[in-house]
Structure 1
Amino acid sequence: PYVGAVDVTLMYAVVDVAGINSLSAQVFGNATAAVAAMAREYAARRAEPAAEGHRPLVGLSMFGLTTPAVDEARAELDRLGYEALVFHATGAGGRTLEKLAADGRLVGVLDLTTTELADDLVGGVLSAGPHRLEAAGAAGIPQVVSLGALDMVNFGPRASVPAAFDGRTFVVHNPTVTLMRTTPAENAELGRRIGAKLAAARGPVTVFVPLRGVSGIDREGGPFRDEEADAALFAALREAVAGTSVELVEADAHLNDPGFARRAALRLHELVTAAR
């Protein structure tokens, strides 16, 4: 919460900062030494000649339940000559991805895991804010987007889930993470929001829709398999991008099925190449 999406470093003071004492002098001395060392390193890097053959940067979004897809996409992008930066979609990761896109550091975005939008809509703990999925479009950066983990909203320990959600479907991922299944109505709103954001993009956009499930637990036999909810998401997205420049690719596959993410990576490569 204090550092946002930048590389601020914090050092705990240990004691109160009301005056200098033998302990705080050591802590402040360490902080001073760290600042000086970082400044020297920064100056040394700036003095070096620019590295040749730097690979173009692509941002990817990942969650534990979309890891197989992102791993496949990352391997394909590496083969194609990109450096893939993977961001864990826990709020801070999404905000950092947006910041790098806004700063022009990325040549493309492969946003396979847009789950943070569900937390923003429903009130989960991993929201990246209301402007998630907007920076790349505003900057005109080519992007390929999918619907990874939009079947879930994230909370802390099960006892911390608000009573308003009693009766919903939950999966206790671990003692500190509880997942709640999104409803058809919530998924329909997510489809509308995603479609509107992508339709407003200034650069090329392709959306890959995995018709057989959007996360590791939203598949046949999985605890979050809900065809009605997924269908509501897909239908709202189709309607939102109809008649726009957004390309919609529907695949009779699960998000984590071999080949799905590779196709998405190849499509991003085509968009990036065409934009050069």
Structure 2
Amino acid sequence: MTDKTILVAGTFDTKDDELTYLSNRIRGQGGGVLTMDVSVLGEPSQPTDVSKHQVAEAGGSSIQAAIDSGDENTAMQIMARGAAAQARSLYDAGGIDGVIVLGGTMGTDLALDLCAALPLGVPKYIVSTVSFSPLMPPERIPADVQMILWAGGLYGLNSVCKAALSQAAGAVLGAARAVEKPARDRPLIGMTSFGKTVLRYMVTLKPELEKRGYEVAVFHATGMGGRAFESLAAEGAFAAVMDFAPQEVSNHLFGGLSAGEDRMTNAGRAGIPQIVAPGCYDLVDFIGWQETPARLADRPVHAHNRLLTSAVLTAEERRQVARTICDKLGQAVAPVTILLPRGGCNEWDRPGADLHDAGGLAAFCDEMMAACPPTARLEPLEAHINDAAFTARALEVFDDWVAAGVIPRP
């Protein structure tokens, strides 16, 4: 008997030895394996549990159609759709407890879709020759995926790639055994922030919400954190959100650390009540160890650490951010309250701080009030976002919504 079953996916026509080695390492630790072939042209040495024909059919096509396309990208997208559908079906049926996908660029492209089809909390491992590469856009990386660099793994087994594959086998099986999936036994509040040095409201809000019987998850809004937040919002996982750090919207507009086009939309589409504030709206974040992008070279910047630096937006850029935020919130089908701190929206923009810009803040506030959708309620606050008055008002709105039944009670 095996305690956990892992889906092992890859192109068994070209990576049969490597995938078989990986599968045997999982079995050798007492785990179960289901194999999925996502190749198109060749055949595996032994039949897989999920054949390439089944994968293609689940993708709404066939292997022959993939071959007849004459294009490897088109063919692999057929297989990616099918692999994602098959993986989700296997998981929903209780057939798998985790997944590991092996590949180069083609296999990694497919792996991102397959892993994205599985809920947060399901162990997802990608062993890839391009792990951690900028080839992968943040919006395609699943929120809790793990990646292992497949060193020396482009073609054939060797002692170098076995070291990576054997670790990966232990990692995915160990994760499937150890994972504590989200309990969902209390209503969950999703909150965004940018770290205690620049935004501090969560220090007060999290314990206060927990006293009320809610669970609170705070997401670091630096690209991937926003992706995790949005993926859970799309699932309807939150009872309410406090989206107080939407600078990923600014990043997407101006080439920073984007969380994708759908940032600030999924909660609204899912009917989740939103309390919103524009923390760090005025910043565009870029990689700190690279040279400052030319488009940002003429403005003040703040080096947060050696990894991340933030540049200040101009007044007109802030107006564009305000219009974009309001447009996104206007799509919501549940209540939205926007708290607008007129005293500033991050610790670095206080009077006397290195990123203070009173004119830019005023321009943003004016545009927010002008562009606010009729379906949202906007409240200007004569306070800074890190002041006690801001957190007090956020809690008042929350409590009012609980009393009115907008937010479910624990």
Q: TM-score range by the shorter chain?
A: 0.7 to 0.9
Structure-2 residue corresponding to 1:73: 205
Aligned residue in 2 for 1:268: 398
1:150 aligns with 2:287: no
Q: Cα 1:32–1:168, aligned 2, differ >3 Å: closer, same or farther?
A: closer
- Structure with the greater alpha carbon radius of gyration: 2
Counterpart CA distance in 1 for 2:303 and 2:170 is: 44
1:12: which partner in 2?
Answer: 149
Question: Any unmatched runs of 5+ in structure 2?
Answer: 1-135
Conserved? CA contact 1:110–1:268, under 8 Å: no
Q: Distance in 1 between matches of 2:392 and 2:296?
A: 37
* Preserved contact between residue 136 and residue 142 of structure 1 (Cα < 8 Å): yes
Match of 1:246 among 356, 376, 379: 376
Write the mapping of 1:209-228 to structure 2, written as runs, cut at 5 A: 209-228=340-359
8 Å contact from structure 2 (residues 241, 273) kept in 1:
yes
- Aligned partners of 2:357, 2:164: CA distance in 1, in Å? 54
Q: CA deviation at 1:158?
A: 7.3
Q: CA deviation at 1:6?
A: 3.1
Deviation at 1:104, TM superposition (A): 1.1
**Equivalent residue for 2:387, pick from 257, 260, 263:** 257
Counterparts of 2:274 and 2:214 in 1: how far apart (Å)?
14
Match of 1:123 among 255, 260, 268: 255
1:198 maps to: 329
Looking at structure 1, the residues matched to 312 and 254 of structure 2 have their Cα atoms a distance apart, in angstroms, of 11
Q: Give the alignment partner of residue 265 of structure 2, picking from 122, 134, 137.
A: 134
Aligned-pair identity in percent equals 35
Report Cα offsets for 1:122-172 as digits up to 9, x if no partner: 222x11122210000001101100010112111223761222333212223
User: TM-score when scaled to structure 2?
Assistant: 0.60
1:66 Cα deviation after fit: 3.9
**1:183–1:24 Cα change, 3 Å:** closer
User: Structure 1 55/208 Cα, relative in aligned 2: closer, same or farther at 3 Å?
Assistant: same
SS of equivalent to 2:272 = coil
Deviation above 6 Å: which 4+ runs of structure 1? none
Going from structure 1 to structure 2, the CA distance change for 1:153 and 1:35 (only over 3 Å counts) comes to: closer
Q: Compute the displacement of 1:272 (Å).
A: 4.8
Distance (whole Å) between structure 2 residues aligned to residue 24 and residue 95 of structure 1? 31
CA distance in 1, matches of 2:299, 2:160: 51
Aligned to 1:98: 230
* Cα contact 1:158–1:172 (8 A) shared by 2: no
Matches within 5 A, 1:39-118: 39-40=176-177, 54-64=185-195, 65-118=197-250
Secondary structure in 2 matching 1:217 = helix
Amino acid at match of 1:18: Y
When the two chains are superposed, the root-mean-square deviation of aligned CA atoms in Å is 2.5
What one-letter code is carried by the residue in structure 1 that aligns with 2:152? V
Structure 1 equivalent of residue 19 of structure 2: none
Equivalent residue in structure 2 for 1:32, among 158, 164, 169: 169
**Aligned amino acid, residue 119 of structure 1:** N
1:249 aligned partner, one-letter code: E
Higher RCO (CA 8 Å, separation ≥ 6 residues): 1
The corresponding residue for 2:90 is none
Look up the SS of the partner of 2:327 in the other structure.
helix
Letter in 1 for 2:156: G
- Distance, in Å, in 2 between the alignment partners of 1:261 and 1:267 is 10
2:296 is aligned with 1:165: yes
State how far apart, in whole Å, the 1-side matches of 2:277 and 2:262 are: 17
Q: Is the 8 A contact 1:172 1:179 kept in 2?
A: yes
How many residues are treated as equivalent by the alignment? Answer: 268
Distance 2:189 2:221 in 1: 15
**Pair 79,22 (structure 1): closer, same or farther in 2 beyond 3 Å:** same
Of 344, 356, 365, 1:234 maps to: 365
One-letter amino acid of the structure 2 residue matched with residue 31 of structure 1: A
Seen in structure 2, the aligned counterparts of structure 1 residues 166 and 27 have a Cα distance that, compared at 3 Å, is closer
SS at match of 2:278: coil
**Which ranges of structure 1 fall in alignment gaps of 5 or more residues?**
none
| C-alpha contact (below 8 Å) 1:149/1:214 kept by paired residues | yes
Do the aligned residues in 1 keep the contact of 2:340 with 2:380 (CA within 8 Å)? yes
* Cα distance, 1:55–1:259 mapped onto 2, change above 3 Å: farther
Offset at 1:269?
4.1
Contact 1:57/1:105 (<8 A) preserved: yes
Question: In the alignment, residue 369 of structure 2 is paired with which amino acid?
Answer: R
Matching residue's letter, 2:340: V
Q: Distance in 1 between matches of 2:293 and 2:278?
A: 25
Alpha-carbon shift at residue 33 of structure 1 (Å)? 3.6
Structure 2 counterpart of 1:260, one-letter code: F
Q: Does structure 2 conserve the Cα–Cα contact (< 8 Å) formed by 1:120 and 1:127?
A: yes
